[in-house]
Structure 1
């Protein structure tokens, strides 16, 4: 990636995709770590190694319902000549005081219960008469045991080797082992492991709070009736969903009308709950590009270093972009174009990496691959622009979906990849190998 152009670049500077992204990633910093309860830490990134304080399992325990016995007492046992053992009692999971199993004795044991002193192995109930004196346990009785507390005898019909059906202490992890490394993203299996070793909270970088705000007097909320010249606000829903998919806690703000002061006050009200702000619409050169009007001079009133820089990028879709910081905490703000495909592509290229940088992840980009273009005709691309076309990817091949129009939401819904056409390429023939950004 090339180095970023200076923030003082003139208004006529045409930024490359790499320059704009480098500028964003050089500015955004990972959030400060905090201690969170386990379920609140789901999706967050660990900032320190977690060491196992107690072995798992913490004691030898049975993996079957059956009988805890000595190996010698069941050696040579068969259905013709079963080993008949005295049942001295029951061992249940969570039981504190354990029975002593001596020669010629057995203890009924439940799955997960600790192996009692004197016992060397576990005989599954299916290998016995279940302590009922009715022959081998089969069929509907395959999990049956004599009633808890019932004394008497059990017939064992098969021998068991030492420590058969016994989960050894520390066979999962041992005390002192490293359970999880710093940098691990906490998903359900990691949460389970932390709970299993007794950790109720962990130190992580929190999921960033992202506020998404769309602009446009023509926008109407879904479920409302459309008036003349109005359209439904899809961008704020799409970008909020994108932010959540990237790992953020995302808040959607209803569309703001094309009025600069209203937008300014709305953004200022939202700063209290934002680690990152994303706006969509109002960044082009039209007469009603309210975001530029509202934020172009915000740095004049805030602390030094604040301000939004509106720039043109050598890309399609998504040429107009804005980036900077706002407010007393210099909250990063990315201003995206208003066309649906432009805003979505811009999110994937610039906002998603910013979110994952805030999370403290090492790999912040979507995976890329090379694929063979399958199409009925050559793809065309404007000279000097890096074009991102929607496509579907499978088995090393990618097929364009829809056209190049930045309003084609239906085609976007079919796509699972972006086809990248470099700045110096104006035509791509079918069968050519192209770079592909994988979206799912």
Structure 2
């Protein structure tokens, strides 16, 4: 029996970082940025108005009110996008739209809600449009300053970032139309078992519907992988090899489920033993039977067949290994302490991963927030076939190898899912 850490190290050692590829921004969603990206321009690239209103000198509207408005002639109109913005002269105003460049000479914007427009007898130039300013504006009021968001030359996006809509929007805003991202690993997911049937084919007695490839495909695509599946391969060595071997040349990683234990029909173990893949018993529950190695030079990770064991194995081994080689910043799930709502038991010598539901602490109820922990209760038993319980879980409760009992109220480590 080997430790969880030793098997994780073997899986990590198999995988290599994929090459970088330059893609249009629209194709980068969900992919991982290879290196830091510097802003080619500042954001905003120029001082601009945060409001529809009037650009003024703050000294010209000091003390303005509804009872005693400041009346200024409006000598220019500045819509967003105007590039030939005239200088603002003392004692005048420019009508300005949100996002439009501030005129030289102006230091603030009076929102349109604090103004009235028209021509009045007390204006210096009765023939020109004028604005009544009904409230003063402090210097800098409603002005977005150059570089307030990002300065030119600064790091706009950090390498290792998983690119979402906001990241891609920022890349476009600083003048980029392409980014270099890690190429998506091409993963072949293989589910084995002569008992497996694909929906909607009717089940016969002794058969079950295949679900492992569906779960693994979703989980791997969530990491940015390209996934191909071969579902329900029969428990026959030649059939298994014939189904998979032709696909190895275009695959970066093979992930199998089932056929790795100590039974009489362990097709993956029988097919791959002695040709580069090693199998072992890992000190964990569920998910003890594991294997990894290379088949014709291609990394192979073999997982058990029970669905909960598949998902736990993915979380413990594949997810951190793939996130590491993809250069992602948060490799491990967030770990938090929690107090159990009921007693749990675990076999000695095995690290147990139990499905659980974690409730965060209400820190407002404690004078010393550092001492507050959340609570966690199990969902379902330890059995690796209880998939429905996993749908009710938001965490994994971890009981270490030397802990055979965790009483109600005791503290345990929790891995938050999602």
TM range, smaller chain: 0.7 to 0.9
Distance 1:76 1:392 in 2: 59
The answer to whether structure 1 residue 420 and structure 2 residue 385 are counterparts is no
* Secondary structure, counterpart of 1:286 in structure 2: coil
**TM-score, length basis structure 2:** 0.87
Aligned residues of 1:84 and 1:154 also touching (Cα < 8 A): yes
Q: Does the 8 A contact of 1:46 with 1:202 survive in 2?
A: yes
Deviation at 1:199, TM superposition (A): 1.7
C-alpha change, 1:387 and 1:285, in structure 2 (3 Å) is: same
What aligned pairs does 1:298-337 form with structure 2 within 5 A after superposition?
A: 299=275, 307-327=276-296, 330-337=297-304
Deviation at 1:42, TM superposition (A): 2.8
Deviation per CA, 1:391-423: give whole Å up to 9, x if none.
222232222222222111111222222222333
Q: Which of 389, 399, 405 lines up with 2:377 in the alignment? A: 399
Cα RMSD between the aligned structures? 2.4
Give the alignment partner of residue 31 of structure 2, picking from 19, 25, 44. 44
CA–CA distance in structure 1, aligned partners of residues 229 and 359 of structure 2: 33
Where does residue 358 of structure 1 map in the other structure?
A: 325
Between 1:102-111 and 1:243-252, the stretch displaced more is 243-252
Q: 2:221 aligns with which of 206, 225, 244?
A: 244
| Residue of 330, 334, 338 corresponding to 1:367 | 334
C-alpha distance in 2 between matches for 1:132 and 1:253: 78
- Counterparts of 1:60 and 1:269 in 2: how far apart (Å)? 60
Secondary structure of 1:46 counterpart: coil
Q: C-alpha distance in 2, partners of 1:438/1:77?
A: 56
Report the CA distance between 1:219 and its aligned residue: 1.5
**1:258-269 alignment, distance < 5 Å:** 258-269=235-246
Structure 1 residues 72 and 345: alpha-carbon distance in aligned structure 2, compared to 1, 3 A threshold: closer
- Please state whether the residue corresponding to 2:356 is helix, strand or coil: strand
Task: Map 1:191-230 to 2 at 5 A.
Answer: 191-230=168-207
Whether the aligned pair in 1 keeps the contact of 2:82 and 2:100 (CA below 8 Å) is yes
Offset of 1:109 from its aligned partner? 0.9
Aligned match of 1:346: 313
Gap change, CA 1:255 and 1:79, over 3 Å in 2: same
Question: What are the within-5 Å matches in structure 2 for residues 125-140 of structure 1?
Answer: 125-131=112-118
Distance 1:284 1:160, change over 3 A: same
Q: Helix, strand or coil for the counterpart of 2:299?
A: strand
User: Using a 3 Å threshold, how does the CA distance of structure 1 residues 72 and 386 change in structure 2: closer, same or farther?
Assistant: closer
Match of 2:346 among 381, 386, 392: 381
Q: How many residues align?
A: 399
What residue number does 1:3 align with?
Answer: none
Contact 2:161 2:329 (8 Å CA) reproduced: no
Q: Secondary structure at the match of 2:43?
A: coil
Structure 1 unaligned runs (5+)? Answer: 1-13, 134-149, 300-306
User: After superposition, what is the alpha-carbon deviation per residue over 1:297-348, rounded to whole angstroms, capped at 9, x for unaligned?
Assistant: 4x3xxxxxxx211222222222211111223xx3321111111111111111
Secondary structure of the corresponding residue to residue 116 of structure 2: coil
Does 192-201 or 67-76 show the bigger shift?
Answer: 67-76
Distance 1:383 1:120 in 2: 72
1:247 Cα deviation after fit: 4.1
2:119 and 2:380 map into 1 onto residues whose CA distance is: 72
1:19 to 2:3 alignment: no
1:92/1:110 contact within 8 Å kept? yes
Pick one of 69, 74, 78 that aligns with 2:56.
69
Cα shift at 1:115: 1.2
TM-score relative to the length of structure 1: 0.83
1:102 matched to 2:83: no
Unpaired segments ≥5 residues, structure 2: 121-126, 361-373
* Aligned residues of 1:43 and 1:207 also touching (Cα < 8 A): no
Shift of 1:273: 4.6
> CA 1:436–1:81 in structure 2 vs 1: closer, same or farther (change >3 Å)?
closer
Q: 1:379 & 1:58 partners in 2: Cα distance?
A: 59
Q: Note the C-alpha offset of 1:433.
A: 2.4
- Of stretches 19-28 and 247-256 in structure 1, the one that deviates more from structure 2 is 247-256
- Inter-CA distance 412–98: structure 2 relative to 1 (3 Å threshold): same
Instruction: Note closer, same or farther for the CA distance 1:423–1:87 as it changes in structure 2 (3 Å cut).
Output: closer
Q: In the superposition, relative to structure 1, how do residues 425 and 158 fare at CA in structure 2: closer, same or farther (>3 Å)?
A: closer
Q: 1:162 Cα deviation (Å)?
A: 2.7
Could you tell me which residue of structure 2 aligns to residue 171 of structure 1?
148
